[in-house]
Structure 1
Amino acid sequence: MKFIDRVRQHAAGHPFFTLEFFPPKTDLGFGNLLSRMSRLAALNPLAVSVTWGAGGSTKDRSLDLAAFTQSSGLDTILHLTCTNMVQGTVDEALREAKSRGIENILALRGDPPRGEEYWIPTDPRFSHAVDLVRYIRSSPEFSSNFCIGVAAYPDGHADHETDEASELECLKQKVDAGADFIFTQLFYDIDNFIEWVKKVRQKGITVPIIPSIMPLQTYASFLRMTKLAGTRVPPELMADLIPIRHDDQLVKDYGVNLAVKMIRRLAAEGGIPGVHLSTLNLEVSVIRILEELGWAGGAMHTSNRLIADTPQESASRVITPHCATDSAATMLVMAGPQTEGEAGKGELNNAVGWDDFPNGRFGDFKSPAYGNTDQWGSTGLSRKQALEQWGSPKTVDNLTEIFLRHLQSRIATTPFSPTPLSPESLMIFPHLERLTRRGWWTVGSQPAINGAPSTDEVVGWGPRGGYVYQKCFVEFFLEQEDVDKLEQKVREEGNSWVHYFAGNVQGECRTNVPDDGRNAVTWGVFPGHEVVQTTIIEKESFLSWKDEAFSIWAEWASFYPPDSPERQLLEGVRNQRWLVSIVHHDYMDSNALWTFLFGKEKPLV
């Protein structure tokens, strides 16, 4: 059924809710998301939405996921970005959606159009979301088949420097073109949202407005998502978060309570028909929010999820660095994959832990949340940023200088690091700098940590009263000749302590990790939790990241004209270099990996 008809038929009472999912990057993550979505379907959402990667990068997985939800009896809203798409991709996506019974589209712009950069192969029909709305509504092939939603930005568009009046005019144009409903970008300022809704209505826009609520998961992810979305963060919210920012469980609990308060106030004062919950493919917080609101209908029970111990229970189990290390040593050797239905048993990173402390691309590749993406299908890269921060590199030495400037905090980002160097990375700064000066450009790393308190300002995570551990690893790009030398060094001097993965854009992968082997490189031991493992490097996750990393080189190259020195350099790097991830398993020796790589010479300072 068309979503707008569902909205109109929704019975009076509490507002409805919809759930948003994204297609995981790995096959196991995708399969496990299907079982998770089946459980969440028992909560009776009015509809679900499925995101679409920038430039159609997740086209097949997005369509497959949307087809699954639609065929399972869930009305599905397929996000569809229209800029930077190869000619014909929009038509293909609409035809496939139509053939699979999908009747709802969320029409989005996606990545900013490249303007006059004619060398980017895009579909010239689409520069903005309104173009997509008009195209669908004017098409004899598609017009009657789809209900269309559009996005709105109560805090202003992150990519726009226009004023609020211009933003409202843009929204009205999308609605006048034929949009049936509005989903908003995430926000946390309720007062601002209520005032914004009044302005939208005064503009003559009458279609339903559904606010997007994204529960806080971790402090770091909250900062990342609000920065990416340009979200306004009320001072009182930051004042609440700062004292608990190093306790992931408290942040997650706070996020649940905040979402409940926001939804209750929106229902009472905001004049909204329903809310859109951006799940990030995580289950526990969504269930807790709906239970607190009384909207879960008894379909799910807290016994099916891992919840934090009460303070009394936590106090009864004292974790010390000594017993934590013993527990970790015992539990980390346990292996054997489990299905998601085996939550709470067996493997460390089984389903019961996936929602605890999600850790981005280094999390468990089996998790439905693996490959976390942003809400509206953006890569985060822009030509303006490239020219301002990274200039016009024409030589390998120019690239080395860009990576060095980022390490030395002279620029805030690189295409592979969207934020300044973290305090954790500063702990191993001399070693990262030394590798980069060698021409091995570092894009990921962590220091070895042996039993730091979970409240540590730099490396701590998880609930209070625990201890965290890390094996040292580093990732970098290097030439094939150096890959050959590094492989020989691992064989001759690694002594089974060193594992690596190396891959190139042509699809070759070299490793000394056994088949189905997994490098657990971050774990924590907490009262009531035993071992929680958040960072895993294994073949499938490495290959997924490798493909993404080389696509970043291609996108960076696309900011420069064909045949330019910059384009030739960046495309050459993409085609010739390898990505290497190397880990040393002796987490008790903070210099073990660096001694292996550099010998016993004094590190650069």
Structure 2
Amino acid sequence: MTTLSFEFFPTKTEEGTEKLLTVRDELAAFNPEFFSVTYGAGGSTRDRTYAIVKAIQERGIAAAPHLACIGGSKEEIRGILKQYQDLGIDRIVALRGDLPSGSGLAGSELRYANDLVEFIREETGDHFTLEVAAYPEMHPQASNFEKDLENFVRKVKAGADSAITQYFFNADSYFHFVDRVRAMGVDTPVIPGIMPITNYSKLARFSDGCGAEIPRWIRKQLEAYGDDSESIVKFGEEVVTDMCRRLLDGGAPGLHFYTMNQSEASLAVWKNLI
């Protein structure tokens, strides 16, 4: 069975939250397995993440908050886990997290995602289904691809149940990554993260920062459209749909859409597939 899930980020205003809850309802009509909610660098959006998670859960939909270990003590993380247990949350996306500007790993009791996964298991047993991140094109801060694969295997062996990838636009990178980790003894589901294409300049800037490659032929076509947003959206839908179809035909267990708090582009792709 193909799983479907969506990601939100915490909004900064009441108006933004109201809009997000409308998007939540539009996406909920397609029976996703869960909605994940991101967590800012150093825990900067902790309260807002909790508020969105609570609003999703109250709607009767499974919510999966991101939880990062950078910038938080064990005691703080223990308290957050208790909050989520009390709320009825049973799934967490466990991450190292982005380093706050000007900060490093020094001072963090849990320095890496595998440390966080291990800590959650020690504190809560099997209460939570734990998702971890995977990077088919390598984490931007990894020293090399082999080390990054070893880091992923370490997270899984610490107790992760499944993984969600960074987005990509080359299906071969996903299949290569899965083949490599299978050869390393990992049979955990790896769910492709999907980023709809709606705005080229924003996508290019974001992709350059997180290490996601936009293939040259896609870049050039998007550049050629200039300010023609309608053509960009149409082309993006075709490209992402074709890739998703290939991923699912090739055995991917589901799709996780990075919605950017919008429903239209993700649903357009999903409707093309069902």
Return the TM-score normalized by structure 1: 0.44
- Deviation, 1:86, is 5.4
Residues 248 and 134 from structure 1, CA distance in 2 versus in 1: closer, same or farther, beyond 3 angstroms? Answer: same
- Give the corresponding residue for 1:77: 64
- Deviation, 1:50, is 0.8
What CA distance in whole angstroms lies between the structure 2 residues aligned with 1:268 and 1:144? 32
3-state DSSP class of the match of 1:49?
Answer: strand
List aligned pairs for 1:324-403, cutoff 5 A: none
- Deviation, 1:163, is 1.4
**Alignment check: 8 A CA contact 2:198 2:233 kept:** yes
1:171 aligned onto 2:147: no
**Alignment check: 8 A CA contact 2:73 2:110 kept:** no
What CA distance in whole angstroms lies between the structure 1 residues aligned with 2:53 and 2:60? 11
List aligned pairs for 1:197-208, cutoff 5 A: 197-208=178-189
What CA distance in whole angstroms lies between the structure 1 residues aligned with 2:27 and 2:52? 15
Aligned pair partner of 1:245 in 204, 226, 230: 226
What CA distance in whole angstroms lies between the structure 2 residues aligned with 1:210 and 1:115? 28
- Give the corresponding residue for 1:231: 212
Q: Deviations over 1:461-482 (max 9, x none)?
A: xxxxxxxxxxxxxxxxxxxxxx
Q: Aligned residues: percent identity?
A: 34
List aligned pairs for 1:100-499, cutoff 5 A: 100-112=87-99, 114-116=104-106, 122=107, 124-139=108-123, 142-160=124-142, 162-269=143-250, 271-294=251-274
**Alignment check: 8 A CA contact 1:84 1:111 kept:** no
**Alignment check: 8 A CA contact 2:26 2:263 kept:** no
Aligned residue identity for 1:135: F
User: C-alpha root-mean-square deviation of aligned residues, in Å?
Assistant: 1.5
What CA distance in whole angstroms lies between the structure 1 residues aligned with 2:22 and 2:155? 36
What CA distance in whole angstroms lies between the structure 2 residues aligned with 1:256 and 1:223? 16
Aligned pair partner of 1:65 in 52, 57, 62: 52
3-state DSSP class of the match of 1:172?
Answer: helix
- Deviation, 1:103, is 0.5
What CA distance in whole angstroms lies between the structure 2 residues aligned with 1:95 and 1:45? 25
- Deviation, 1:287, is 2.1
State the structure with bigger RCO (CA 8 A, min sep 6), 1 or 2. Answer: 2
Q: Deviations over 1:69-111 (max 9, x none)?
A: 1222212111111102356331221111111001111111112
3-state DSSP class of the match of 1:24?
Answer: coil
Aligned residue identity for 1:22: F
**Alignment check: 8 A CA contact 2:241 2:272 kept:** yes
Whichever structure has more helix as a proportion of its residues is: 2
**Alignment check: 8 A CA contact 1:186 1:229 kept:** no
Segments of 5+ residues of structure 2 without an aligned counterpart are none
What CA distance in whole angstroms lies between the structure 2 residues aligned with 1:166 and 1:186? 20
What CA distance in whole angstroms lies between the structure 2 residues aligned with 1:101 and 1:226? 34
What CA distance in whole angstroms lies between the structure 1 residues aligned with 2:166 and 2:211? 9
Aligned residue identity for 2:62: D
**Alignment check: 8 A CA contact 2:70 2:105 kept:** no
- Deviation, 1:39, is 2.2
What CA distance in whole angstroms lies between the structure 2 residues aligned with 1:28 and 1:45? 24
Segments of 5+ residues of structure 1 without an aligned counterpart are 1-11, 117-121, 295-605
- Deviation, 1:144, is 2.9
Return the TM-score normalized by structure 2: 0.94
